[in-house]
C-alpha cells in the first residue's frame, strides 16, 4: 500500500478521541478509535496509519475497537501505537504484525541518588565510557556470550537466570513488568537460527531508535506519586530502550512465514497480507504464542544486562559502588507484546489477547498485576521522547481500563521517516546541534543520529498531554536529556 495522506473519516467522540466508523471499509467488525489532541490530529491526517487502524478492525474476534495511541505512525501491518484485543472464544486471532518484529522492545528506568550538580561537569566522560562499554549498532555483539543451551535458558527463565550469575539483584525483578518472566514460553519451539542470532546479542542496544540516556528530572507534576516512585527535582536517572534484538526479529519472521496461508485455511479474509494471523487456539497460533513469550523473556534479559553495564560504568566514573549511588530500578515496561489478560467487555469479564505494538500497559492503583510497591498509586509508565527535548514518567489511570484495555502510549512517535530525516539532516552535524542544547550524544554512525534527530519525532509533551487528558495515564515527572548513546 502506498503511504499517502489519510482522507477518511475521523469523527470526534470524546476527549482527544476520534472514531473511524465501521461504514468506512468493508469487513470492519468494530470501529477504530484514535487518541490525538488538535495538534497531533493535524499531523495524523498526513500519514496513512489511520488506514491501518481500519484494517486491524477486520480481524476475527476483535473486541470493542481497533485502537491507536497519539504516537501513532505507519508500521508493518499494525500501525506503531496500535492496540487491539481479540477473544479466543470467538475465534480471536494472534497476529505477529500486532506485536512487531522487535518482540518485547521496551523501556527500563533506573534512578540514582546523584543530582545535576554532581554530574554536569563529568557528562562527556560519562557518555564516552558508556559508549565504549555498552555495545550499540546493528549486528553488534557484546561481552556476554551464551551457547545455544544457555540462550534457551534465557528464554525459559528470564532475568532470574542472569541475576543468578551475579548480574543484578532479586529486587530488580520486583520492579519489572510480570516480574521479568512470561509463563508459557517454550524455548524449544524457537528456531535454531533465531537462537544463533541471539546468542551473542544479549546485553546490546542495537540500532534504530534504541538508546541509553542519562537524564535529569526537570519538572514534577504529581508530588505524591513522585515521592512513591522515589523521584525528585534535579535527580539524575538513566533510561534504557531496547528489545529482543535479532532473536525476536527472527521469531517474528518465522511466524509470518507460517501464518501466510492461515487466513485461507481458517476461512477469513484480510485487507492487508501484513496482518497475517491465525486463531489463538490453533496449532499455528499456540506455537507463535510460545515462541513470542520465550523471545519476550529474552528481551527482559537484554535490558537487565544493559542496566548492569550502566551500573558498572557509573561506579567506575564516580568511584563508588552502584548500590552506594542508589542505582535502583524504578520499572521496566514492554511495548511490543501480546498478552492474555482479563478485561471487562460490554459488562462481562473476558480473557482476551491484548496486542500492544508501540503501546504499553497503564494499569491503575489497586490492579493485582501492579507490583506491591506501587499498588496504592498505580503502575509506573515510562515514556521516552527524542534526544533533544524530554521523556516522561507517568502513572496508570482508571480510564485506561475503561477505554483502551489498560494501555497508553509508548513514546513520542515518528513525525518523519528515517529516509526523510536523513535527507533533512544532510550537511548538518546533529551531535553539535544537540551539544548546543546541552546534550552530549554519541552514536556508531552519523546516519544513526540523523535518522533520530529531534525533528524526526513528534513533540512528546503533546503525546503525553493527550493521554493525560484522556485519563489513560497521568503525568508524574518530566526528564530532560543530558547525554545519550545510540547505534
Sign of CA dihedral 426, 431, 436, 438: positive
Contacts of 186 (CB under 8 A, 6+ apart): 290, 291, 293, 294
Q: How far is Cα 91 from Cα 278, in angstroms, rounded to an integer?
A: 9
Three-class DSSP category at 81: strand
Q: How far is Cα 119 from Cα 240, in angstroms, rounded to an integer?
A: 18
Phi/psi at 322 (5° precision) = -65, -30
Q: Are 399 and 471 in contact (CB under 8 A)?
A: yes
The tally of CA atoms less than 13 A away on the side-chain side of residue 58 is 22
Q: How far is Cα 139 from Cα 161, in angstroms, rounded to an integer?
A: 24
Q: How far is Cα 148 from Cα 213, in angstroms, rounded to an integer?
A: 31
Contacts of 264 (CB under 8 A, 6+ apart): none
**Among residues 270, 287, 268, 280, which one has the least CA distance to residue 93?**
280
161 has which bridge partners? none
Task: Name residue, grid cell 561506579.
Answer: 315
Alpha carbon dihedral 77, 405, 40, 24, in 10-degree steps, equals 60
Convert 302-319 to b/e letters by CB count within 10 Å (16 or more is b): bbbbbbbbbbbbbbebbe
Residues carrying an active site annotation: 410
Amino acid at each position: 500500500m502506498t503511504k499517502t495522506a489519510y482522507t477518511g473519516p475521523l469523527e470526534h467522540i470524546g476527549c482527544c478521541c476520534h472514531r473511524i466508523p465501521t461504514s468506512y471499509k468493508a469487513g470492519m467488525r468494530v470501529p477504530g478509535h484514535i487518541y490525538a489532541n488538535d495538534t497531533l490530529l493535524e499531523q495524523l491526517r498526513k500519514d496513512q496509519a489511520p488506514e491501518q487502524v481500519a484494517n486491524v478492525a477486520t480481524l476475527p474476534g476483535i473486541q470493542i475497537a481497533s485502537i491507536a495511541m497519539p504516537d501513532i505512525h505507519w508500521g508493518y501491518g499494525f500501525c506503531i501505537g496500535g492496540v487491539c484485543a481479540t477473544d479466543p472464544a470467538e475465534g480471536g486471532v494472534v497476529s505477529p504484525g500486532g506485536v512487531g518484529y522487535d518482540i518485547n522492545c521496551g523501556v527500563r528506568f533506573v534512578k540514582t541518588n546523584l543530582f545535576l550538580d554532581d554530574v554536569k561537569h563529568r557528562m562527556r566522560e560519562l557518555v564516552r565510557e558508556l559508549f565504549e562499554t555498552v555495545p550499540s549498532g546493528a549486528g553488534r555483539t557484546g561481552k556476554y556470550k551464551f551457547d545455544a543451551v544457555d540462550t534457551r535458558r534465557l528464554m525459559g527463565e528470564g532475568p532470574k537466570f542472569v541475576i543468578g550469575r551475579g548480574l543484578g539483584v532479586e529486587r530488580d525483578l520486583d520492579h519489572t513488568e510480570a516480574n521479568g518472566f512470561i509463563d508459557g514460553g517454550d524455548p524449544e519451539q524457537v528456531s535454531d537460527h533465531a537462537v544463533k542470532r541471539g546468542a551473542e546479542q544479549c546485553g546490546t542496544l542495537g540500532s534504530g531508535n534504541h538508546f541509553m540516556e542519562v537524564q535529569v528530572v526537570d519538572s514534577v507534576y504529581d508530588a505524591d506519586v513522585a515521592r512513591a516512585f522515589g523521584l525528585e527535582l534535579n535527580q539524575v536517572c538513566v533510561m534504557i530502550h531496547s528489545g529482543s534484538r535479532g532473536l525476536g526479529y527472527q521469531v517474528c519472521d518465522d511466524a509470518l512465514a507460517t501464518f501466510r496461508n492461515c487466513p485461507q485455511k481458517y476461512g477469513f479474509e484480510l485487507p492487508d497480507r501484513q496482518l497475517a494471523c491465525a486463531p489463538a487456539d490453533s496449532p499455528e497460533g499456540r506455537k507463535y504464542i510460545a515462541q513470542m513469550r520465550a523471545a519476550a523473556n529474552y528481551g527482559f534479559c537484554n535490558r537487565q544486562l544493559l542496566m548492569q553495564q550502566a551500573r558498572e560504568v557509573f561506579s567506575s566514573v564516580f568511584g563508588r559502588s552502584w548500590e552506594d549511588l542508589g542505582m535502583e530500578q524504578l520499572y521496566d515496561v514492554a511495548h511490543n507484546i501480546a498478552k492474555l489478560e482479563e478485561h471487562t467487555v460490554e459488562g462481562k469479564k473476558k480473557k482476551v489477547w491484548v496486542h500492544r505494538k508501540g503501546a504499553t500497559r497503564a494499569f491503575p492503583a489497586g490492579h493485582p498485576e501492579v507490583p506491591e510497591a506501587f499498588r496504592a498509586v498505580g503502575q509506573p509508565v515510562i515514556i521516552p521522547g527524542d534526544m533533544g527535548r524530554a521523556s516522561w514518567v507517568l502513572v496508570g489511570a482508571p480510564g485506561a481500563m475503561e477505554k483502551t484495555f489498560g494501555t497508553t502510549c509508548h513514546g513520542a512517535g515518528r513525525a518523519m521517516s528515517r529516509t526523510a530525516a536523513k535527507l533533512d539532516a544532510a550537511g548538518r552535524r546533529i551531535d553539535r546541534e544537540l551539544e548546543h542544547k546541552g546534550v552530549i550524544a554519541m552514536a556508531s554512525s552519523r546516519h544513526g543520529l540523523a535518522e533520530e534527530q529531534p525533528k524526526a519525532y513528534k513533540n512528546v509533551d503533546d503525546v503525553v498531554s493527550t493521554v493525560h487528558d484522556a485519563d489513560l495515564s497521568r503525568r508524574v515527572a518530566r526528564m530532560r536529556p543530558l547525554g545519550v548513546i545510540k547505534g
